[in-house]
């Protein structure tokens, strides 16, 4: 049996007063709502993030590197590589030769673009539902807070 005196080890009287604890719960609930939508489209959340980011970065026909994709998604290179392999196996992306013969540039396939056309609005709708308890001004304030919390 443990006799911990939290007054000595925590700055908070209750877990609900901890920003990290609350962020954990909110992010878990949000992610569950997004994953439910993506499951219907046979995508994992990380796959969607990579697919949507790839679509965004290449929307004008630009070629990008896997490193640029990692930077924009915040996903480490090894995990990004695994996700890209999975998307390639589903024929949602292809890797085309780069100017650097050691590298390939990931690009959406027609099938990947078609899926993104369905997935992005579905995810944005789920986002809207999740944040629907907030006014437009409150959502703007939340966005400002999230932007401040973004790693530089």
In tens, the pLDDT along 119-134 reads: 999 999 999 999 999 9
The CA distance from 99 to 127, in Å, is 38
Residue in 47, 98, 94, 41 with CA at minimum distance from that of residue 75? 47
- The three-state secondary structure class of 93 is strand
Cβ atoms 106, 66 nearer than 8 A:
yes
- How confident is the model over 59-109, as pLDDT tens digits? 999 999 999 999 999 999 999 999 999 999 999 999 998 888 778 899 999
The CA distance from 86 to 56, in Å, is 19
Q: pLDDT: is 116 or 100 the higher one?
A: 116
Exposed, middle or buried, 123 (CB in 10 Å: 0-12/13-18/19+)?
A: buried
The CATH number of the structural domain formed by 20-149 is 1.10.10.10
Instruction: Report the DSSP pairing between strands 93-97 and 104-108.
Output: antiparallel
The whole-model pTM stands at 0.89
């Amino acid at each position: 049996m443990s006799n911990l005196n939290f007054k000595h080890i925590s700055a908070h009287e209750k877990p609900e007063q901890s920003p990290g604890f609350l962020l954990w719960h909110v992010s878990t609930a949000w992610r569950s709502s997004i994953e439910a939508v993506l499951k219907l489209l046979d995508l994992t959340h990380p796959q969607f993030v990579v697919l949507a980011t790839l679509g965004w970065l290449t929307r004008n026909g630009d070629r990008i590197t896997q490193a640029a994709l990692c930077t924009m998604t915040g996903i480490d290179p090894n995990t990004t590589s695994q996700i890209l392999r999975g998307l390639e196996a589903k024929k949602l992306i292809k890797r085309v030769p780069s100017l650097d013969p050691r590298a390939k540039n990931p690009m959406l396939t027609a099938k990947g673009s078609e899926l993104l056309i369905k997935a992005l609005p579905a995810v944005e709708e789920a986002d809207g539902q999740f944040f629907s308890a907030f006014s437009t001004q409150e959502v703007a304030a939340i966005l400002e807070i999230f932007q401040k919390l973004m790693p530089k």
